[in-house]
Chains A and B, each alone.
Chain A
Amino acid sequence: MKQNVVIIGGGIAGMEAANQLQLLGYNPIIVEQESALGGHVAQWHKLFPDMSVARDVVGRMSKSIASTNVFLDTRVVSVKSSRSHYTLSLSNGVDVTTRVVLIATGFGLFDARKKEEYGYGVYDRVITNGDLEQWMNGCADSRIPESPRSLGFVHCVGSRDLKAGNNQCSKVCCMTAVKQAIEMKELFPDSELYCFYMDLRLFGKKYEDFYINAQRDFGVHFVRGRVSEVGEDIDGRLCVKAEDTLLGKPLKIHLDLLVLMAGMVCHPQTSKVAEMLRLDVGNDGFFKSRDNLANIQESNQDGVFYAGACTGAKTIPETLAEARAVALRIHSYFNNL
């Protein structure tokens, strides 16, 4: 009989791992708390660096695991562990016994309301990167004006921020800001766009090309300096303040829309899952790998593995590479039992 592998989380990490495990002859079982597969990527519109349509990417992945056992709207309620097995009780009443559990619970988008000075949830014209992706996917959003003349993008919202409890860089949001600035300029050619950054961290393949294109072909203005506060005018326009740190002078500007680059933080379910399976959590709130160099996919528990953004901020190619690698790692785990 095929061996079970329970995968908690049906984002791209869980889906890709399921696909590979199936090809290797296992019986993956995905437990996803939402009503659909795809995780965060299913909410995005177009993906850097190739501007692939997110829906198509998720759709192709869903097709590849069409025969996989998937429990949607389901959570793990409790776990019993014996010497060689884990028995997971699910919220739908099913109990599953397995030798291997793969954690693929992903991340949470930083709650931008915590940065009160930016006015998310207070002012009408402040949205997040996630809101903008969903609007581009066709979800109505009354906060986005019909023809904005000036738009701002605030980098590092809830990332690189000791006070917000997240010291790390979220990696994807510089690139997301540049991508979204270009997309908005295409939609609103007469608008002026401003990115407020501390450093531009455009590390990946083709990312720097996006930066050059944004400057050269789309005239996006890059202002070095973190936005310190946002206010609202009587007519609803936003007044944004930052220091132009290249000039060493304070700067202010009125904008019609402000997009906050909310960072990648640990998924809110992390501590619950960690408790049930007695897994270590790092001081960043993400699951703690055995080490961060050669054993990112290994946990402190025998038979429990990680893939994707549940251990830290990751891009899609990084997530997929980990999902494929963990399938092989699980395969060798079974072979050595």
Chain B
Amino acid sequence: MTDFGFSISKSATIDMDAVDMELYERVCRQVPSARICMSCGSCSASCVAAPYSGMSVRKVILALQRGKDVRTMLSNCMLCGKCSMACPRGVNTRNLILTVCRNL
């Protein structure tokens, strides 16, 4: 095929009809508190890995709800558990991270 030197960008739109929530639902069954995250960001703000790696429990939960890959983010977690302490909704964040890893 002739290379014209340009391409079509992939749409960034999240198509909620096509999102696979299977992993999110499976994780929620094992860690029910994951459902009550209110996206406040306390977890990420207190996370020691966040400033260097972009790790964020808030973003992990959102990514699961939108069917996005979370592997890169999770690989930066040190499982220190600080985020659990900070979460005002009592989301069992450390357990959530471990559960996601086990289900991947």
Cα A62 to Cα B35 in complex, Å, equals 43
Instruction: Determine the chain B residues whose CB is within 8 A of the CB of A216 once the complex forms.
Output: 32, 35-36
Cα–Cα distance between A254 and B17 once the two chains are bound (Å):
7
Interface contact A247-B36, CB-CB below 8 Å:
no
- Interface residue tally for chain B (C-beta within 8 Å): 16
Flag whether B82 is at the interface (Cβ < 8 A). Answer: no
Q: Is the C-beta of A215 less than 8 angstroms from some C-beta in chain B?
A: yes
Cβ contacts under 8 Å, B48 to chain A? none
Q: Name B's A-contacting residues (CB within 8 A).
A: 12-17, 32, 35-39, 62, 65-66, 89
Tell me the complex Cα distance, A249–B89, Å: 26
Are B36 and A244 in contact, CB atoms less than 8 angstroms apart? no
Report whether A250 and B35 are in contact in the complex, using a CB–CB cutoff of 8 Å: no
A-B contact count, CB below 8 Å? 39
Q: A216-B36, A224-B39 are in contact. Are A252 and B14 (CB under 8 A)?
A: yes
B14 touches A215 (CB 8 A): no
A61-88 CB mask vs B (1 if < 8 Å, else 0) is 0000000000000000000000000000
16 A-B residue pairs with Cβ-Cβ distance under 8 Å, sorted by A, are A215-B38, A216-B36, A221-B65, A224-B39, A244-B66, A246-B39, A246-B62, A249-B12, A249-B13, A251-B13, A251-B16, A252-B14, A252-B16, A252-B17, A253-B16, A254-B17
| Complex CA–CA separation, A332 to B4 (angstroms) | 85
Which residues of A lie under 8 Å from residue B39 when comparing CB positions? 224, 246
A219 lies within 8 A of chain B by Cβ: yes
Among A194, A224, A251, A254, which residue has its beta carbon within 8 angstroms of that of B14? A251
Query: Which residues of A sit under 8 angstroms from B89, Cβ to Cβ?
Result: 212
**Bound: A215/B28 CA distance, A:** 11
Specify the chain B residue showing the minimal Cβ separation from A253: B16
Chain A interface size, as a band, is 10 to 19
The chain A residue with its CB closest to the CB of B68 is A247
B27 → chain A, closest Cβ, in Å?
13
Contact B14 A247 (CB under 8 A): yes
**Could you say which residues of chain A place their CB within 8 Å of the CB of B37?**
215
By beta carbon, the residue of chain B nearest A251 is: B14
Known: A246-B62, A247-B62, A247-B66. A219 touches B14 (CB 8 A): no
Residues of B close to A247: CB separation below 8 A: 14, 62, 66
Distance of A247 Cα from B12 Cα, bound (Å): 11
* Distance from B32 Cβ to chain A, minimum over Cβ atoms (Å): 7
- Indicate if the CB atoms of B13 and A250 lie closer than 8 Å: yes
Q: In the complex, what distance in Å separates the CA atom of A251 from the CA atom of B15?
A: 6
* Residues of chain B lying within 8 A (CB to CB) of residue A211: 38
A244-B66, A246-B62 known; A252+B36 contact, CB < 8 A: no
- What separation, in Å, do the CA atoms of A92 and B89 have in the docked complex? 58
Q: Mark A179-194, 1 if CB is under 8 A from B, else 0.
A: 0000000000000001
- CB contacts (< 8 Å) of B65 on chain A: these are 221
Q: Which residues of A contact B35 (CB under 8 A)?
A: 215-216, 219
Other-chain contact of B36, A194, A212, A251, A254 (Cβ < 8 Å): A212
* Bound complex: CA A151 to CA B65 (Å): 17
Give A241 to B74 CA distance when docked, in angstroms: 30
Residue numbers in B under 8 Å from A254 (CB-CB): 17
